[in-house]
Structure 1
Amino acid sequence: MQAGKRSDRITFQRQSVSDDGYGNVMSNWSNLLTCWADMLERLGGEKIQSGALEAPRLATIRVLRAPETLAVTEADRIVARGQTWNIRSIAAVGRANEELEMLCETQVAT
């Protein structure tokens, strides 16, 4: 992939869990990594979830393969284009596996 194709700035986030000191579990998302990516959005189709109609959007996000991006898992999430995206799958792509491609979904429950 040429450098010019990565025109979207994205941030990977990882969830951490802590105790608030009163026995309540607190869930926080913290920034893991910010990098340039190639992002292609498409419609995901409508589906009914728990009796409510959802219209999720899908995106394919490609980043360069590096030690930092290899640490990303499906449990993490991406913030891009003003939306939070759940990572559904990650695959190494390209002739020499030089990129990571992530199938992501937004506007759905995690």
Structure 2
Amino acid sequence: MGVNVLRLDRRLQFLRAVMGDDGYGNVITGWAAHGVPVWGARKDVSDAEQVAAGRLLATVTARFIIRRSSFAAGLTPMDQFTCDGATWAIDGIKEVAQPRRGFLEITATKGAA
């Protein structure tokens, strides 16, 4: 996917884990919107199916390109995001070589419906 022909036509809403108390002394983890939605491009790179505990599990891995910003530079693999109604787990984040420091590439995985 060349950066020169990128179509940033997807909206990504990043999510960050938040800790809370359920009122009975138990710590619970939820997800809250982190920042405002950003535009990105998506390219699917693989899919997989496997059987575990008698269930068929399917996943899709994709690469998303977003513009680099101070907000985007603060994202980590501990965050998640939603795009097109699905929640994606971030596997890795790296700078795109061209144009220099202008974009970030996020590799992410979701369970296939």
TM-score range, shorter chain: 0.7 to 0.9
Q: Give the corresponding residue for 1:19.
A: 21
Q: Give the corresponding residue for 1:82.
A: 85
Q: CA separation in 1, counterparts of 2:86 and 2:44?
A: 12
- CA root-mean-square deviation: 2.0
Deviates more, 1:86-95 or 1:49-58: 49-58
How much identity, in percent, do the aligned residues show? 26
Q: Aligned with 2:48: secondary structure?
A: coil
Q: Give the corresponding residue for 1:106.
A: 110
> Structure 1 residue runs of 4+, over 4 Å off?
none
Q: Structure 2: any 5+ residue segments left out of the alignment?
A: none
Deviation at 1:3, TM superposition (A): 8.7
Code of the residue aligned with 1:60 in structure 2: it is: R
TM-score calculated relative to the size of structure 2: 0.84
Q: Aligned with 2:23: secondary structure?
A: coil
Q: Structure 1: any 5+ residue segments left out of the alignment?
A: none
Q: Aligned with 2:72: secondary structure?
A: helix
Residues 3/12 of structure 1: CA separation in 2 closer, same or farther (3 Å cut): farther
Q: CA separation in 1, counterparts of 2:106 and 2:53?
A: 26
